[in-house]
Structure 1
């Protein structure tokens, strides 16, 4: 087994999308080859309804798939295929935009006004850019959970892991999407397919991801003004960790434990022409998509 090195850690950046939704973007719109086949990852977490209530009104997509995972609150959705529903806490929605879809996503907080979820964009290869749009919703109760003797919990949202299979399938990027909690002080290693690009996104607690400079993943500490503080390889709230090649990831949980998403997928390695919600392979294809959006031929008839 070979340890995946940590290539980069960075904080998600506050931004605004839709009709004024405040969120944090871990990556997107810059250097799409870094995490190919993934294009964008947003963390929409808020306790103030004024910062998310206007949601994401009707907008188009083409050439991508989106995976939305809700932790708190709900997301009501409608699309140009005539589908509508509500994605509850713990649930996942996978949408293939393919040749073109119009949809809206309207978040609602829980009883305390809290709203929290993630959206991941996965690219489609050129031969599937114009495939028929489709989507599926899965309830939280449909997602298998693994509980280890040491208290580690893994929700298998997409892919196969430790004998469990996630309920979402058919995504072109063939991703593995795991929601992992490691208890305080526990060190844990997770296998990741060697041929996939991989990243972690920490959203609760903190921990140390092992790499060449710290192969044990041990939390390194020093005293500053009489207080012990973690100074190296600490990944905390809203931190993206981008890994190099290898077939396993090791994390040492901090004093509060750590919860993170571990996501990997097979790279497509094709040119990316991207503007807003539409991702194609060439500038000409991108121009054609926006021309069709203007003249009303963006949505293709079902075959």
Structure 2
């Protein structure tokens, strides 16, 4: 009998505000982030009220990790101190490696309409935290999409999608943490069983509909909930009514995590150095 990944927790996101007052749903972040290693934060922003997002995220620093912004609707302009400028549109991804330091802004390129998307923070191993920063804008046309034999649509942002019948490399590969990031659209009655490496942390964020997870008894995750699964076994997902979700998986680093706002390092001393560097204008 095959072993399935067990549900360790199902938890709702929490209302939060960031940047210059952008309202969002904080799914991962705060105390206990070691449970989600190598992932540090996941925010969902979704509103058709400009008052919720128009102030955006003015210039701010980062050090020690990567940010992945995935836009479902609307547009956001990125500018950073390295001279990078990018316009993130619906279906596109911004992958930024802060490493030793990036100071950037993310500002809505619209004054009306819906702005909807996600930002995920992915940790860097200690050896890479002070490496070269980088930035990549990936338009929707460059992100692979597929439909499984069962009618499930998959947007393969990072890693490799493999359900035993079809295998597709994503737009981004990261050997340090081997992240898998898929946007899965399950029709009513849809099922999918992506193959994932043993020992990898696996998270599911349902943002529309509801998802059934096998077990005794079967557990259900509704929109706005994060599912944390065990690191071993096979993954089986099913939705009676239909669902849209992010599948997030990666190799845990198992290193100390010390976070102070936009800086994530391995020790308090390194955080204090980051604060000094930012104060002195030498963060990057």
Q: TM-score, normalised by structure 2?
A: 0.94
- Structure 1 counterpart SS, 2:26: strand
Q: Whole-Å Cα distance in 2 between the matches of residues 2 and 74 of structure 1? A: 42
- The answer to whether structure 1 residue 184 and structure 2 residue 209 are counterparts is no
Match of 1:253 in 2: 239
The 8 Å contact of residues 205 and 254 in structure 1, kept in 2 or not, is answered as no
C-alpha separation in 1, matches of 2:227 and 2:55: 31
* Deviation for aligned residue 1:197: 0.4
1:210-262 Cα offsets, whole Å, 9 max, x none, are 23x23xx5xxxxxxxxxxxxxxx22111110000122322122032x011011
Partner of 1:225: none
Match of residue 42 from structure 1: 43
1:84 to 2:88 alignment = no
**Post-superposition shift, 1:171?**
6.4
Partner in structure 1 of residue 273 of structure 2: 288
Structure-2 residue corresponding to 1:58: 59
What does the per-residue CA deviation read over 1:255-284, in whole Å, with 9 as the maximum and x for residues that have no partner? 2x0110111000011111110000111111
Aligned length: 279
Tell me if 1:126 matches 2:121: no
In 2: Cα distance, 1:92 partner to 1:140 partner: 7
User: Which residue, out of 218, 225, 229, partners 1:243?
Assistant: 229
Aligned to 1:200: 204
Shift of 1:174: 1.9
**Aligned-residue offset at 1:190:** 2.2
- Give the corresponding residue for 1:8: 9
Could you list the runs of 5+ residues in structure 1 that have no partner in the other structure? 218-232
* Gap regions ≥5 residues in structure 2: none
Equivalent position of 1:23 in the other structure: 24
Q: CA deviation at 1:151?
A: 1.6
Calculate the TM-score normalised by the size of structure 1: 0.89
How far apart in 2 are the matches of 1:56 and 1:238?
23
Check 1:171–1:85 CA distance in 2 against 1; reply closer, same or farther (3 A cut).
farther
Between the aligned partners of 2:6 and 2:153, the Cα distance in structure 1 is 23
